[in-house]
Every structure is written in structure tokens, then in C-alpha cells.
């Protein structure tokens, strides 16, 4: 019985590690996108709404994953903070 718990704990750690790596990759890509988008203000306005929709969709998926207990509270909070920082409130 203890082995299955250890395996489950390891699986959770691996999932959390992968989620963290994915979040880091997304942050890096969004930084590159932000730099290239800043050169064209009209592109920023049109892509900003699409980007915010994508962030809101990711936020909804994150909440669903947390509700299904697929991620830990700490991972949820970290990813949630990162997503909320990408939203622009006027």
C-alpha cells in the first residue's frame, strides 16, 4: 500500500514540475511576444484582447484542474498569480 502512495506522490511532483516548466516557457514566450508587439501599437490593441481571452481560458482550465485535485494549492496559487499578472485591467 505504501508503494502506491509513493508512486502517486512522485506522479504529483512530476506533474507539478511539468506544469511549472510549462508556465516558465509560456512566460518566456509571452515576453518575446510582448517585445515584438510593442513595436506596432495597432497590433497590441487587436492582439491584447485575444491574449486576454486566452489568459481567461487558461485561468478557467486552471480552476478546473484544481477543483479536480490534479494540482496542489501551491501550484494553483503560483500559476494563478502568473496568469493574473498577464491580464491588463483598464
Whole-prediction pTM value? 0.47
Res 30: pLDDT: 83
- What whole-number distance in Å separates Cα of residue 76 and Cα of residue 64? 10
Residue 57's pLDDT band, with cuts at 50, 70 and 90, is very high
Q: Is the pLDDT of residue 49 over 60?
A: yes
Q: How many CA atoms lie within 13 A of 78 on its CB side?
A: 14
Res 70: pLDDT: 92
Amino acid at each position: 500500500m505504501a508503494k502506491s502512495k509513493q508512486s502517486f506522490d512522485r506522479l504529483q511532483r512530476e506533474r507539478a514540475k511539468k506544469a511549472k516548466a510549462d508556465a516558465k516557457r509560456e512566460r518566456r514566450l509571452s515576453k518575446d511576444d510582448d517585445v515584438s508587439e510593442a513595436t506596432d501599437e495597432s497590433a497590441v490593441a487587436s492582439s491584447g484582447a485575444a491574449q486576454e481571452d486566452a489568459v481567461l481560458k487558461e485561468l478557467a482550465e486552471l480552476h478546473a484542474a484544481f477543483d479536480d485535485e490534479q494540482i496542489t494549492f501551491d501550484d494553483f496559487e503560483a500559476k494563478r498569480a502568473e496568469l493574473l499578472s498577464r491580464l491588463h485591467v483598464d
